[in-house]
Amino acid sequence: LETSLNNKKKIVQDYFRTIISRDISERYNLKNRTLLTDFILYLLNSTNFSINKTVNVLRTQGRKVGKETIIKYAKYTEESYFCYFVPIFSYKIKDQLQYHKKVYFSDNSFITNLSLRMSKNLGRLYENAVFLELKRRQSENQLIEIFYWSDKNSEVDFVIKEGIKVKELIQVS
């Protein structure tokens, strides 16, 4: 069993390196793979994504990075289908741009094998699995949009909008 788990972890790590080198670095002609790797590892250990916070965290680690670079890296990771960013639900574009986004990954094995977790975070894994199912449904119905909702008193993991109407609220627990 231990050997099997180690083999799975090695496969996921190899796949991760391939995504960084071929799917992102070579495709977009990036020179700083270390910064890209640090960015992605930061995402794997976060549930929320904010450009300013990410820049600040990487700078405190001694990285020379600006907002434009993080914006590009986020776009590249999403275009490579490695991860996805879900905005807050609002009818105001300003709110969607201003508030942090939730980050989800194309496979739970990335979270399980690459994040620096101290224990299994089953809630995060379940939420990521639900997101992947919603993403699959979205590919079948292009009118569906996926958001989350949060305010001082409550949070909803997924707000599903179809056209101009909220179709469904989903709380994963």
Phi, psi of 31, rounded to the nearest 5 degrees: -100, -25
pLDDT digits (tens, 9 = 90+) for 101-151: 999 999 999 999 888 765 678 899 999 999 999 999 998 888 899 999 999
Say if residues 34 and 86 touch (Cβ distance below 8 Å): no
Q: What is the pTM of this model?
A: 0.90
Helix (H/G/I), strand (E/B), else coil: 24: helix
Four-point Cα dihedral 45, 173, 107, 166, nearest 10: -100
The percent of residues above 70 in pLDDT, for the chain, comes to: 97
Q: Is pLDDT of 8 > 90?
A: no
Instruction: State the Cα–Cα distance between residues 19 and 43, nearest whole angstrom.
Output: 15
Between helix 33-44 and helix 67-79 the angle, nearest 10°, is: 70
| Degrees, nearest 5: CA angle 83-157-125 | 55
Q: Is the CB of residue 140 less than 8 Å from the CB of residue 39?
A: no
Structure tokens at 23: 């799917």
